[in-house]
C-alpha cells in the first residue's frame, strides 16, 4: 500500500468523432509524464463531448472499444495508469442494446475497471437520457491499494453518487467532466456544487474539465483540486490546455494534496470575450475554412465581430466588406474604414446601389400600388447577404453573421439577409453586453488573442445611436425601447421565463410596451430556427436551451 501519489490532470481539448486523434493526444500527454502514477483525462476524451446522435452509430462504439484496448495495452510498460472517458455498448438482461457513458481505468496492460455514469442530465444543452442508459450506483475502484470514487460529471453535480461512494469507503473522489461555459459557472462549480460534495463526504475531490469549442458550446476548463477540509489546493488556467502534476500524501486523516498554483480566472467581460474567441477559432479551423468574411457597416455589432474574428484567427484571415447604400452615412463609411485599419484586416467596398435599383425596376410593376415600407429595407439586407455569400462561395471564407441577442429576440433581423452565414459570435449576447465588450476590448488585449492591438474601433462606433441605415435618419430606438430597458425585459422573459406582470412589477415599465416585446419575442421564433449557430453564453440561449414551438397562442400579457 502506498502513501505517496502523483496524479496528473490533463485539461485538454477534444475532436468529436476523431477517435484516433484523441487517442494520440492522450498518448502524448502520457509520454510527457511517465513518472506519474495516474493521468486523468476529461469526460468522453476518447470520442469527444458532446457526441450527440453520432454515438448511435455502432461503428463509433466499436472503434472506441478497439482504441481503448490499445491504450490499455500500452500501460504494460510500467508507466502511469490512465483514467479515460469513453462510450460502451452492451446488452442488457433482455438482450437489448444499451449505450453507456463510462470511464475506464487502464493499468498494467489492461482495462482494470470501468464505471458507468449514473446521473444522466436532461436539461438545457444536455440530452443524455435519450441516448444513454444510466449505470447503477457505482462502487469504488480499488487501485494500488487505494479506493477511488469515480463520479462522472453529473454524478458529482448531485449528492447521491458521491455520498454512496463515501459510504462504500472511497478515499478520493475523481470527477471527470464535460461542463460547458456559462456566465458565472466557474465560481458556481467550485464554491457551490463541488464544495458541497466535499463538505458532505469529507473527502478530497478532483474536478477535471475539458476546453475548446464544439459547435454552439465552448468549454472553459477551470479544473481544480479540493482537499477534504474544503481548501483549494490547485486551480488550473481557464480557456487553455494545461497538464498539472499534483502530489498526494496519505496520513491518518486520509489523502491530502500538496498546495499548488491557484490560477486567476477571468472576470466579466473578459471571460465572455474569451468564450467568443475560442468558440469561433475552433469552429472555423475544425471545419476547414481558410478564414472569415463579414459585412462591416460602421456599427458596433459588426465592429466587435471583426475584432473577435481577428483575435480568434489573426487579422490576415478576416475579410471585411463595406456594402453602402444611398442611406449609408459618411460617418459609417469613415468608422468602418477606421475599424478595419485599427484591427489590421482587409476592407473592400462594394456598393449595393446598382442592385437596389435593379430590384426596384424588377418589382415596380408588382409594387405599383403599394407604398414603400419595410419590404424595401429587407431587399437591401438580402442584397448584402447574397453579395457576401457570393464572396464566401467564390473564395472560401466562412460568412460571419453579426446580429445580437436583443435583435434576434424581437425579430429585428432579416432572414436570408443579415442572418445569412455560418456562425454568429454575438448570438447569445444582448446589446448592452456588446457595448461592454466593445469598451473593454478597446482598452485591453485578450489573453487568447492572435491580434495584439488595442484599441480596435473608433470611439464613435460605441457612442453613436445604433441604426440599421435602411431608410433616412433611421434609429433603432424609433421602434424599440432603449436597449438598457429592452435587455432587462428580455432577460426576464427569456432567461427567467417571467410573465409580463412580473417584468412590470420589477422595473415599472409601461405594461403595453412589455406586452409588445413579448409578442415580438414569440413571433420571431421561426426566424431563430433558421439562424446560424453561435456560442452559448447564458443559461437560456436560443437553440439548445430554449426550444419553443413556432406556432402557438400563449401569451402572459
Residues in a beta bridge with 347: 320
Residues, the chain, total? 557
Q: Which of 43, 119, 171, 377 is catalytic?
A: 43
The DSSP code for 243 is E
Phi, psi of 493 (to 5 degrees): -70, -35
Spatial distance between the Cα atoms of 276 and 424, rounded to a whole number of angstroms = 9
Secondary structure, 3-state, 459-490: HHHHHCCCCCCCCCCCCHHHCCCCHHHHHHHH
Q: Among this protein's residues, is 117 annotated catalytic?
A: yes
Which run of H or E residues covers position 311?
A: helix 300-313
Cβ neighbours around 260 below 10 Å, total: 16
Say if residues 152 and 85 touch (Cβ distance below 8 Å).
yes
Spatial distance between the Cα atoms of 169 and 471, rounded to a whole number of angstroms = 71
Q: Which of 88, 117, 182, 377 is catalytic?
A: 117
209: left (phi over 0), alpha (psi -120 to 50) or beta: beta
C-alpha closest to that of 240 among 200, 271, 201, 207 = 271
State the Rg of the chain over Cα.
Answer: 26
Q: Among this protein's residues, is 377 annotated catalytic?
A: no
C-alpha closest to that of 318 among 307, 304, 330, 327 = 307
Q: Among this protein's residues, is 43 annotated catalytic?
A: yes
Q: Which of 88, 119, 128, 153 is catalytic?
A: 153
- Helices of type H across 320-400: 330-343, 353-363, 374-395
Residues taking part in catalysis: 43, 117, 153
Amino acid at each position: 500500500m502506498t502513501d505517496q501519489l502523483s496524479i496528473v490532470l490533463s485539461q485538454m481539448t477534444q475532436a468529436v468523432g476523431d477517435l484516433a486523434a484523441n487517442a494520440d493526444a492522450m498518448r502524448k500527454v502520457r509520454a510527457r509524464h511517465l513518472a506519474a502514477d495516474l493521468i486523468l483525462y476529461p469526460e468522453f476524451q476518447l470520442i469527444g463531448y458532446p457526441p450527440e446522435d453520432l454515438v448511435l452509430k455502432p461503428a463509433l462504439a466499436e472503434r472506441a472499444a478497439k482504441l481503448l484496448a490499445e491504450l490499455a495495452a500500452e500501460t504494460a510498460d510500467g508507466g502511469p495508469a490512465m483514467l479515460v472517458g469513453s462510450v460502451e455498448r452492451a446488452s442488457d438482461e433482455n438482450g437489448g442494446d444499451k449505450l453507456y457513458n463510462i470511464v475506464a481505468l487502464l493499468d498494467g496492460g489492461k482495462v482494470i475497471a470501468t464505471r458507468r455514469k449514473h446521473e444522466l442530465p436532461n436539461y438545457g444543452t444536455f440530452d443524455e437520457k435519450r441516448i444513454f442508459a444510466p449505470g447503477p450506483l457505482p462502487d469504488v475502484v480499488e487501485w494500488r491499494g487505494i479506493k477511488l470514487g469515480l463520479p462522472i460529471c453529473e454524478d458529482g453535480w448531485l449528492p447521491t453518487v458521491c455520498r454512496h461512494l463515501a459510504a462504500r469507503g472511497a478515499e478520493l473522489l475523481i470527477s471527470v467532466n464535460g461542463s460547458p461555459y456559462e456566465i458565472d459557472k466557474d465560481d458556481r462549480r467550485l464554491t457551490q456544487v463541488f464544495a458541497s460534495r466535499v463538505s458532505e463526504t469529507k473527502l478530497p475531490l478532483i474536478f477535471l474539465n475539458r476546453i475548446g469549442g464544439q459547435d454552439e458550446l465552448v468549454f472553459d476548463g477551470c479544473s481544480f483540486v479540493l482537499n477534504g477540509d474544503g481548501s483549494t489546493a490547485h486551480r488550473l488556467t481557464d480557456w487553455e490546455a494545461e497538464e498539472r502534476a499534483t502530489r498526494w500524501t496519505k496520513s491518518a486523516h486520509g489523502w491530502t494534496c500538496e498546495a499548488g498554483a491557484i490560477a486567476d480566472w477571468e472576470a466579466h467581460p473578459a471571460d465572455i470575450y474569451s468564450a467568443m474567441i475560442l468558440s469561433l477559432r475552433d469552429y472555423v479551423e475544425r471545419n476547414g475554412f481558410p478564414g472569415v468574411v463579414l459585412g462591416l457597416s460602421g456599427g458596433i455589432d459588426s465592429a466587435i465581430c471583426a475584432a473577435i474574428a481577428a483575435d480568434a484567427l489573426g487579422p490576415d484571415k478576416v475579410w471585411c466588406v463595406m456594402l453602402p447604400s444611398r442611406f449609408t452615412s459618411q460617418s459609417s463609411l469613415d468608422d468602418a474604414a477606421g475599424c478595419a485599419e485599427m484591427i489590421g484586416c482587409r476592407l473592400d467596398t462594394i456598393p449595393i446601389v446598382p442592385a437596389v435599383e435593379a430590384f426596384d425596376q424588377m418589382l415596380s410593376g408588382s409594387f405599383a400600388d403599394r407604398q414603400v415600407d419595410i419590404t424595401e429595407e429587407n431587399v437591401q439586407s438580402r442584397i448584402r447577404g447574397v453579395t457576401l455569400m457570393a464572396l464566401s462561395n467564390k473564395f472560401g471564407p466562412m460568412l460571419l453573421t453579426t446580429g445580437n441577442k436583443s435583435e434576434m429576440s424581437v425579430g429585428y433581423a432579416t432572414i436570408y439577409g443579415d442572418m445569412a452565414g455560418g456562425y454568429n459570435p454575438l448570438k447569445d449576447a444582448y446589446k448592452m453586453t456588446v457595448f461592454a465588450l466593445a469598451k473593454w476590448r478597446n482598452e485591453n488585449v485578450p489573453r487568447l488573442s492572435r491580434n495584439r492591438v488595442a484599441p480596435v474601433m473608433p470611439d464613435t462606433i460605441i457612442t453613436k445611436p445604433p441604426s440599421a441605415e435602411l431608410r433616412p435618419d433611421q434609429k433603432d430606438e424609433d421602434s424599440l425601447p432603449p436597449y438598457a430597458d429592452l435587455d432587462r425585459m428580455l432577460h426576464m422573459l427569456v432567461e427567467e421565463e417571467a410573465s409580463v406582470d412580473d417584468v412590470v412589477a420589477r422595473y415599472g415599465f409601461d405594461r403595453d410596451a412589455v406586452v409588445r416585446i413579448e409578442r415580438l419575442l414569440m413571433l420571431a421564433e421561426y426566424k431563430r430556427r433558421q439562424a446560424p449557430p453561435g456560442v452559448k453564453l447564458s443559461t437560456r440561449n436560443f437553440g439548445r436551451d430554449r426550444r419553443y414551438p413556432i406556432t402557438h397562442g400563449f401569451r402572459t400579457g
